[in-house]
Amino acid sequence: MARPREFDRDAALDRAIGVFWGKGYAATSTEELVEAMGIGRQSLYNAFGDKRHLFLEALGVYHRRTIAAHLQRLSEPVSPVEGILNLLIGLIPDDDNQRSMGCMGIGTVSEFGASDPDICALGARALPPLTTRLAARIREGQALGELDPHLDPDEAAGFVHLQMTGIQLGARGGVDADALRAMVRFAVDRLRAS
């Protein structure tokens, strides 16, 4: 008879996300994972499969959570320009340790590039809702006179997404919070109506 699982799978997965986020896939050993997750090696294999399957599940959860948070910050304010500003500023934690972790998704792209079809598929599923909502907010901002009416909303959404990537890479590289916030204001000002 199989023994029942004796750990909280979701909590263990959250701890695995923290390890992969901080170290990346290749630099994370199975031993580090089982220690951080508080489970035995066999429990890891039984519950999650191997290290790769655990990583893919962790990355998928990370994507869903972060995209939901991005969409909330972008959509809450009535002002589209304030929504875009909130989206970008929200990427910059005050805590130096947290900020230096950057983004797990961008760290994964930096580690794997486009070489892993499973990882690419996760990213391809995660980003469209954010890109679509960004373009919609840009159109709203143009209609309200907040944003430059000559901008192509889809191109401007791509620009904002690229700023998100740059902020996260800068954070991971040690750029301080004030400098990152100044770059956010600079980028958002490029979108404003003159």
User: In this predicted model, what pLDDT tens digit does every residue of 133-152 receive, in sequence order?
Assistant: 999 999 999 999 999 999 99
Per-residue pLDDT tens digits for 19-69: 999 999 999 999 999 999 999 999 999 999 999 999 999 999 999 999 999
Kindly report the number of other CB atoms within 10 A of residue 182's CB atom. 11
- CA–CA dist 78, 113 (Å, integer): 37
Whichever domain contains 148, its CATH number is: 1.10.357.10
Percent of the chain with pLDDT over 70: 97
Residue 169 in any domain: the answer is yes
- CA–CA dist 99, 170 (Å, integer): 9
Residue 155: pLDDT over 50: yes
Range of the domain at 110: 59-189
Please measure the distance between the N-terminal and C-terminal CA atoms of the chain and give it in whole angstroms.
72
Model pLDDT, residue 4:
47
Tell me, what amino acid is at 82? E
Tell me, what amino acid is at 47? A
Residue 21 in any domain: the answer is no
Percent of the chain with pLDDT over 90: 95
Residue 7 in any domain: the answer is no
Residue 18 in any domain: the answer is no
> How many domains, the chain?
1
81: confidence class by pLDDT, cuts 50, 70, 90: very high
Residue 48 in any domain: the answer is no
Model pLDDT, residue 5:
53
Residue 179 in any domain: the answer is yes
Per-residue pLDDT tens digits for 109-133: 999 999 999 999 999 999 999 999 9
Model pLDDT, residue 3:
52
Residue 68 in any domain: the answer is yes
Kindly list the distances between the CA atom of residue 13 and the CA atoms of 36, 84, 145, 186, in Å, as whole numbers in the listed order: 10, 31, 45, 37
Residue 2 in any domain: the answer is no
Model pLDDT, residue 7:
82
